[in-house]
Amino acid sequence: MILQSYVDIFNKETISLVKALEQDCGKSYTNVLIPVTNFTLNSIGETSLGVKLDKGYNWYKEAVHKFGILLLRRVVRPWLFNDFIYKLTPLARQQRKSVETLHEFSRNVIENRIKTFTNFDENLKSTRKRLAMLDLMLKARHDGIDIDDEGIREEVDTFVFEGHDTTAAAIRYTLMTLANEGNIQYLFNDFKDKLVEEIKNILSDSYKLPTYTDLKSMKFMERCIKECLRLYPSVPLIGRVAGEDIKTHSGYTIPKGCNINILIYDIHRSSQYWEDPEKFDPDRFLPENIAKRHPFAYLPFSAGSRNCIGQKFAMLEIKAALCGILRKFKLKPIDTPDTIRFRSDMTLRSDGEIRLILSNNKHNTKNVFYKFVKEWLGNGLLTSSGDKWHNRRKLLTPAFHFMILQSYVDIFNKETISLVKALEQDCGKSYTNVLIPVTNFTLNSIGETSLGVKLDKGYNWYKEAVHKFGILLLRRVVRPWLFNDFIYKLTPLARQQRKSVETLHEFSRNVIENRIKTFTNFDENLKSTRKRLAMLDLMLKARHDGIDIDDEGIREEVDTFVFEFTKEISAQLFKLPKPVMTIENTISSLREDRMPT
């Protein structure tokens, strides 16, 4: 029910996305980064946090980016793993600055949401509506469940982070891939015009935004998205700590306590699991072909108990965006996969082999890399472990029920429209850089769907803070001597990071505060409706119900959600030059008068 209720938000944000892209029609190229990121951030804000993030959050995005850069710089410098040493370095100071920005964002989100929680108990009694993530945590705290303000902030940070940039990356790479795979989009051989034809057939010829059912019915589009995620996983690497001695198939023993890096990017391109792995082939994901593969040969959303909690949400959001863009534009490439270079960052930005796939709780402890994002995300889902992780995961899982995802389709559609409009402005130009519009698209979508906040305008400061944080994180990750927190905190990097984190936390706290303000007669509303709650509402409700999550915990999850849907820490290990492509209006046979469901 919750996912279904997000569809209107997705549609609204898709419209904004298409409008943003449309402005580039006729230009030499389009940079889709900003509009797509805005789309995802706005969607997560409205859906999970109940906050509109459509304006003024570029500073948050920059702080995320800066944190990612600093994180990577530390990760590649083992001598900086020691917190004491790291805190003495400029990287640590820059990171603290970014974290301050990020925490400012999440705290503002939470505070604003809390303000809407007037007559909280009465609203809960009067509605059966399921709560968004932030509201769920706020309710849990209110109800005495084990989550405090810091815990809420941690989860807000986690969800905002994970909820917008990884999705934006997926959309960017899908657009780039489709632009380079002309037969998928237009030709009537092999895959033919199946993608565009599928949209046309499902939406018929009437003017209509897609519904949840429409989007779920787009099976070929889903296979195309999955194949793009195979080739360009938003998170190319994940890390764990061995919970016990592990005997590999080759006879090697991985000792207990050892850091293990799982190279998803290489697994997805391994000839051991994939025939002709460099070829784009959506039919790999036909049911009969999936049954032939190892279940863990495909890990775009991780696997096991710590798999991505929002993967269904992300798939709906991506479908909504692609539906709007492909109905409006043709895509032509400027950059090709062969010319792409990947650089390290928190998500796969652009140009391994491990045989053991983790599948149980004994190996769920994240390695040292994840420690570097705690200043921003705190102990949200991405960085926490043990009982806290299990409790938070249990609390937030209902926010991604398929009924909630259905409700996001309208938001995805709206943001797709905005994305298409942004891309349309480059029609006629020599090429289009999709980085900015795609990033705006994902950020706007995550804002509206998960946070209930519009981020399409006025939130450049937030986006800038995310970006800044990612840069600082990368700088730290590649400087092992900054792994020590003490050394790092003495550096200019740490000061810059703190500033970024303050901005990001301000954003999330504002989102939460604004969302809380809407929770009038909370108990009564819960009793009168069976609607499932989005992420932010879910946390607010949990806090209200006394569950162990406070305002800070809600902020952590808001930050984490946005972070993981847009950046996804490890994915910053490969940074891609901005995807560019030429965009033209789609063929006239594709009607634009109906949105997908």
pLDDT digits (tens, 9 = 90+) for 320-367: 998 888 887 777 776 667 776 666 566 666 553 212 222 233 444 565
Interval 421-436 mean pLDDT: 78
What is d(CA 583, CA 30) in angstroms, rounded to the nearest whole number? 8
What is d(CA 348, CA 117) in angstroms, rounded to the nearest whole number? 38
Distances in Å between the Cα of 264 and the Cα atoms of 94, 254, 539 are 29, 19, 31
pLDDT digits (tens, 9 = 90+) for 151-183: 888 888 777 777 777 888 888 888 888 877 654
Q: Could you give the percent of the chain with pLDDT greater than 70?
A: 74
121 has pLDDT over 70: no
Contact criterion met (CB below 8 Å) for 550 and 219: no
Q: Of the spans 222-231, 492-501, 553-562, which averages the highest pLDDT?
A: 222-231
pLDDT digits (tens, 9 = 90+) for 503-554: 888 888 877 777 777 665 555 554 444 454 567 777 777 777 777 777 777 7
Q: What is the pLDDT of residue 386?
A: 61
228 marked as part of a ligand binding site? no
The two three-digit tokens of residue 390, written as one number: 């299990």
CA-closest candidate to residue 125, choices 430, 527, 424, 467: 527
Q: What is the pLDDT of residue 589?
A: 47
Q: What is the pLDDT of residue 591?
A: 53
Task: Give 513's contacts (C-beta < 8 A, 6+ positions apart).
Answer: 108, 109, 110, 111, 112, 113, 114, 115, 116
The stretches of 329-449 forming alpha helices (DSSP H) are: 374-377, 386-396, 402-406, 409-423, 435-449
Q: What is the pLDDT of residue 353?
A: 26
pLDDT digits (tens, 9 = 90+) for 33-87: 778 888 888 888 788 777 777 666 777 777 877 887 788 788 788 898 888 999 9
Looking at per-residue pLDDT, the higher value among 221 and 183 belongs to 221
Q: What is the DSSP string of 32-77?
A: -HHHHHHHHHHHHIIIIIS--BBSS-HHHHHHHHHHHHHHHHHHT-
Amino acid at 433: N
How do 580-585 and 329-333 pair as beta strands? antiparallel
What is d(CA 92, CA 79) in angstroms, rounded to the nearest whole number? 13
pLDDT digits (tens, 9 = 90+) for 302-324: 777 777 777 888 899 999 998 88
250 has pLDDT over 80: yes
CA-closest candidate to residue 159, choices 57, 48, 68, 307: 48
CA-closest candidate to residue 32, choices 574, 422, 347, 448: 422
What is d(CA 251, CA 242) in angstroms, rounded to the nearest whole number? 16
Buried b (16+ CB within 10 A) or exposed e, 356-385: bebeeeebbbbbbbbbbbbbbbbbbbbbbe
Region label for 459, one of left (φ > 0), alpha (ψ between -120 and 50) or beta (otherwise)? alpha
Q: What is the DSSP letter of 585?
A: E
What is d(CA 139, CA 122) in angstroms, rounded to the nearest whole number? 12
The two three-digit tokens of residue 215, written as one number: 């989007």
Distances in Å between the Cα of 326 and the Cα atoms of 15, 179, 271, 583 are 13, 11, 31, 10
Is the pTM of the predicted complex or chain greater than 0.85?
no
Q: What is the pLDDT of residue 222?
A: 93
What is d(CA 236, CA 337) in angstroms, rounded to the nearest whole number? 16
Element (H, E) at 583: strand 580-585
